[in-house]
Structure 1
Amino acid sequence: MAKWYELVTGSLEEKKRYKDLKARQKALPDGYRTAAEGLSRYLMYAGGIDKSDVLLAMLEDLVELFEHSAAAGTPVPEIVGEDPVEFAEDFLTNYDDGRWINKERARLAEAVERATAENRAAGEKPEDER
């Protein structure tokens, strides 16, 4: 029964991990919580991550960063720097494997390869042979 349910709703384990990480985020001190919530929202919208395990790992790493920073007393501006968007974009580069745009980039490259092969098959010479 659980396997059928998970086919419809997704992994129960991943849902539990997500709820746990949101609880950890909510437990952060006020300023840290506000920044972590803002960053996680931005990362979820801008990240375009379609692999749930990668998304969860990214969000867990973000919460862990803010937990450690809060424990060490590191001010939020020292964590994110002068440009929080730049920080978020740099943070995202660590999770490129799960981004949907990578699939689209691969599809585009494959389409151009197919088009090139089709042109050659139709007798059109490559540009460097003209």
Structure 2
Amino acid sequence: MTMFLTRMLADKRRYRQYRAAVHELPESHRAAVTALERYFHTAGMISDGQVVLTMLDDLLDLFRSAAAAGSSVHDVVGDDPIEFAEAFLGNYDEGRWIVKERTRLLAAIRAAT
């Protein structure tokens, strides 16, 4: 129980640091990160908290680098933000609940045949 609590508190601290860093981005980049984060939580449905935090840190790094280089949000996400979001999410499939459920379904069907 103590290990769970320690990890939970560390995750909460890490998320607060992430949110503070997002707040430091230029307005347009901050708005894009916030919109992508909302999309990821809805469409990505990642059940592993560590994967979520890693994904958000990677997203932040991407937009920090873009802002430092003077790149626009469009330069980062391109013409199709949904395609960008789905491709980005594809890098974190190991934490997505749908991937786990697809694996479970395949195993159940194989066992039934």
TM-score category of the 2 structures, normalised to the smaller one: over 0.9
Q: What RMSD in Å do the two structures reach over aligned CA positions?
A: 1.7
Return the alpha-carbon distance in structure 2 between the equivalents of residues 79 and 41 of structure 1. Answer: 17
Return the alpha-carbon distance in structure 1 between the equivalents of residues 102 and 78 of structure 2. Answer: 30
- Per the alignment, residue 5 of structure 2 pairs with 6
- Per the alignment, residue 103 of structure 2 pairs with 106
The alpha-carbon distance between structure 1 residues 4 and 17, as it changes in their structure 2 partners (threshold 3 A), is closer
Q: Higher relative contact order by CA 8 Å / sep ≥ 6: 1 or 2?
A: 2
Return the alpha-carbon distance in structure 1 between the equivalents of residues 39 and 55 of structure 2. Answer: 12
Structure 1: gaps of 5 or more residues: 117-130
Q: Give the superposition deviation at 1:5.
A: 7.4
- Per the alignment, residue 42 of structure 1 pairs with 39
* Structure number with bigger Rg: 1
Sequence identity (%): 47
What amino acid maps onto 1:6 in structure 2?
A: L
The alpha-carbon distance between structure 1 residues 78 and 4, as it changes in their structure 2 partners (threshold 3 A), is closer
Q: SS of the residue aligned with 1:64?
A: helix
Q: How does 1:71-86 map to 2 (within 5 A)?
A: 71-86=68-83
The alpha-carbon distance between structure 1 residues 5 and 99, as it changes in their structure 2 partners (threshold 3 A), is closer
Q: Give the superposition deviation at 1:91.
A: 0.3
Moved >2 Å (runs of 4+)? none
Residues paired across the two proteins, number: 113
The alpha-carbon distance between structure 1 residues 98 and 4, as it changes in their structure 2 partners (threshold 3 A), is closer
The counterpart of 2:64, out of the listed 28, 46, 67, is 67
